[in-house]
Structure 1
């Protein structure tokens, strides 16, 4: 599909990437979403916690929501989408990745941008309920890369999976990491790294044969974290190998169901490789929308319903 011309027009005060991103991450509140937690056990004996919210009437439609790096199912960008879809008679299953539900996961491994085996486990679990004829998936940031990789890897997708939406997707993980390590994003990188190291620290005692205090102390940047922990814990050679194999951009040509990507041009987390114009033009199933504004997951709009949430609902309705 040709690149979609975006109609997004933020409030004047929200045009700057930093302002909109920080406001959306720290100040936005979403009320009125009641979540019920369900725990599923994975094949490797670890667990995932799913936070469900429901439409007022029994629905045969559900959207699976995937959060970003160090997010959780209670983040406003998740609950905002859940609320809008619930109000439009669609149930919502908000996934907490391993270690992100408030309880440490059981294994040395955790979650990462390309862990589509966990997403597939969620999809299969949702299908097993026998209630849903239509399934959609919406991923945010890390979750956006994951869902695009998932539908482009060549697996046999269930016929119930109708469409996916990816918001602020770091399609080129190496390039995105480079942006996060740049001076303009130093404050974000420090915050992310602090959260990641806090979760990693208990694993030093649990798994002393897998990581040492010297390894832990050597982690100074997000790339160090991926070199020392993410790659080793998940079967990659190093950070660059992880980025290369997990970036969704290489899988976009293989996507065979409708997929909407919304990446703001002023998103300071995204490199030029995160805007897959060529792939969108060559694959009729890939729809790329690049609003001028929106920062990182910060498409502020009227009524506390974000533009990307409205577009996601429109997209699943039209496809």
Structure 2
């Protein structure tokens, strides 16, 4: 492994190492209890996104803030969101998830949706949180699509362009074209069909209001995420086509440019991505720590711990929050470099 790539300490329980078992297990296990309140955040273009804040509300203005960006068609009810939000809240962090446009309880207003490289809304939110909580240390976490978006945002803004002490990216599809191809093969088509059904149903309800040369029958006939992105995502958001979208929205080529302390967690058997993902990407920068597990599936990482099945992701994120929770952004960067050097 290159100096910046490390072996994650995740170990699946005996008999539960299969990548599809790991991917699906979080949906089968009991979910963490979590209550939340919803806030609508107005955006500069007249649209809005919905925020879900973990309850009870934290009064202290300097309480650390945990900001989560979910995956494709995810949200507050996704198993990983509830697990990570509950974990952060239990550690005393003010926890919030931003729903991408149209992923909350109400459809968004404008004739557009969201995509893997759409960083503007996240940037606006982070600026608003900086204004609301100027004394709070802030950490952002992205999952899958949200992780790719977050890495792209960090690269765009440089080391001091965001009021963040650090970031965590879980299972980012850093090469969108390769991920689309992987999802169209073998059992991974099960996940592709599930995601497609949700995406197409959402578009079908608004098809007449969207500037797309697409009939309901043509929409229904789309048979892959690549076809969907070519017919819907790309034209709806100003891309020349699916190849242009995947090239411009993929964050993989940017991981060597990250200046903010960033932890990337990845499983080599992720059924959403090719097994050699990081071999095709630039070496991560000094501020980046990449931890790769042999097993884990896509946002699975279910382990046997304290006599029960549970989330290694939640434990690993909790440990990282503990490392960053009492530091300045400068200290967080130094700690990331120290840990990376000690593991090399």
Match of 1:253 among 249, 252, 256: 256
Match of 1:238 among 229, 241, 253: 241
CA contact (8 A) 1:279 1:286 kept: no
**Structure 2 CA distance for aligned equivalents of residues 207 and 176 of structure 1:** 27
**Structure 2 CA distance for aligned equivalents of residues 120 and 296 of structure 1:** 26
Structure-1 residue corresponding to 2:28: 27
Aligned pairs (5 A) from 1:207-226: 207=210, 211-213=214-216, 215-226=218-229
Alpha-carbon deviation of 1:131?
A: 5.1
**Structure 2 CA distance for aligned equivalents of residues 193 and 123 of structure 1:** 30
Alpha-carbon deviation of 1:64?
A: 0.7
**Structure 1 CA distance for aligned equivalents of residues 183 and 82 of structure 2:** 26
Structure 2 residue 323 is the aligned partner of structure 1 residue 313: no
**Structure 1 CA distance for aligned equivalents of residues 64 and 14 of structure 2:** 36
CA contact (8 A) 2:25 2:302 kept: no
**Structure 2 CA distance for aligned equivalents of residues 4 and 135 of structure 1:** 25
Residue 277 to residue 173, structure 1, CA distance change in 2 (3 Å): closer
- 3-state SS of the aligned residue for 1:200? helix
Q: Please say which of residues 264-273 and 290-299 is displaced more in the overlay.
A: 264-273
Superposed CA offset, 1:169-212 (max 9, x none): 11110001110011231111111111100000022222366644
Residue 312 to residue 213, structure 1, CA distance change in 2 (3 Å): same
Residue 191 to residue 111, structure 1, CA distance change in 2 (3 Å): same
CA contact (8 A) 1:48 1:96 kept: yes
- 3-state SS of the aligned residue for 1:165? strand
CA contact (8 A) 2:212 2:232 kept: no
- 3-state SS of the aligned residue for 1:315? helix
Residue 145 to residue 159, structure 1, CA distance change in 2 (3 Å): closer
Q: Please say which of residues 259-268 and 296-305 is displaced more in the overlay.
A: 296-305
Residue 276 to residue 93, structure 1, CA distance change in 2 (3 Å): farther
Alpha-carbon deviation of 1:2?
A: 2.5
Structure-2 residue corresponding to 1:13: 15
Q: Please say which of residues 143-152 and 27-36 is displaced more in the overlay.
A: 27-36
Aligned pairs (5 A) from 1:99-178: 99-130=102-133, 132-155=135-158, 157-158=160-161, 160-178=163-181
**Structure 2 CA distance for aligned equivalents of residues 242 and 252 of structure 1:** 18
- 3-state SS of the aligned residue for 2:83? helix
Alpha-carbon deviation of 1:225?
A: 0.7
**Structure 1 CA distance for aligned equivalents of residues 206 and 58 of structure 2:** 42
Structure 2 residue 198 is the aligned partner of structure 1 residue 195: yes
Alpha-carbon deviation of 1:305?
A: 4.5
Residue 154 to residue 273, structure 1, CA distance change in 2 (3 Å): farther
**Structure 2 CA distance for aligned equivalents of residues 276 and 62 of structure 1:** 34
Residue 276 to residue 287, structure 1, CA distance change in 2 (3 Å): farther
Deviation above 6 Å: which 4+ runs of structure 1? none
Q: Please say which of residues 283-292 and 271-280 is displaced more in the overlay.
A: 271-280
Q: Please say which of residues 55-64 and 246-255 is displaced more in the overlay.
A: 55-64
Alpha-carbon deviation of 1:86?
A: 1.0
Q: Please say which of residues 189-198 and 30-39 is displaced more in the overlay.
A: 30-39
Residue 216 to residue 132, structure 1, CA distance change in 2 (3 Å): farther
Structure-2 residue corresponding to 1:43: 44
Structure 1, unaligned stretches of length 5 or more? none
Structure-2 residue corresponding to 1:60: 63
Alpha-carbon deviation of 1:235?
A: 0.9
